[in-house]
Amino acid sequence: MLNNSLRFDDEFVRHKILDVIGDMALVGHPLIGHLVAHRGGHALHTEFAAMVMQETDAWTLVEVPGDTPVAHVPMPQPARSAARAIN
């Protein structure tokens, strides 16, 4: 903490969100999906990223046209094997 105070009321939450975004960047590709982390941490996030890369049936690499914003790309349905891995 800086000067024994928080800059924002939700600063700890913001930090945790940035942690998981950075850890998922280890996959090496932009991700389109939904991730819920409960009591996450760097070790859990990086283990999950490695598991996702190993389970090649749990994801599909797609190409996004250069002029299409990512927000307009349809979200793929989650794979069953990935859902089992995190439960």
Catalytic residue positions? 42
CA 15, CA 21: separation in Å to the nearest integer? 10
- Residue 55 Cα distances to 3, 15, 79, angstroms: 45, 28, 10
CA 65, CA 41: separation in Å to the nearest integer? 33
**Residue 65 identity (one-letter amino acid):** P
